Amino acid sequence: MAASTGQLCPQRLTMEHVTSRWGVLVLIRLQERPHRFAELRRAIDATESVGPVTEKMLAQTLQSLERDGMVNRDAKPVVPPHVEYSLTELGHEAAVQIRALALWTNDRMDQVEKARETYDASKGRA
């Protein structure tokens, strides 16, 4: 009868936003320098071994991060539109944490893959 799904504490929500698939990439890209929307999109698309971001997901990710106070959205009132996204102080702190995690993951990736093979070999077919 309960609400079941959706019962997340606010911390969980925040973590989901910053550790989400595109959240991670956005934070890391914006850590380097501010980006415009399409620019960010292209930067992410160019990232090796990462599929393309849809506009929808990028917009959604940026909105989550903006709402959480991680990202500043600076829309200059010109035509055609020119919007710059950058990290807030909070967002910068988040990026540091995320970057550390991402780098560690990359570092240990071969260990992890080795472990997976071993595990699968002993489990997949006894």
Partner DNA sequence: CAGTATCCGACACGATACTG
Partner DNA sequence: CAGTATCGTGTCGGATACTG
CB of 62 to its own copies, least distance (A): 12
- Alpha carbons 73 and 83: distance in angstroms, whole number: 7
Q: Is 67 an interacting residue with respect to its own copies (CB under 8 A)?
A: yes
Q: Are 88 and 73 in contact (CB under 8 A)?
A: no
Q: Is 1 an interacting residue with respect to its own copies (CB under 8 A)?
A: no
Nearest residue to 37 via CA among 82, 88, 94, 95 = 82
Give the nearer residue to DNA in terms of CB position, either 21 or 107.
21
Q: Is 39 an interacting residue with respect to DNA (CB under 7 A)?
A: yes
Q: Is 57 an interacting residue with respect to DNA (CB under 7 A)?
A: yes
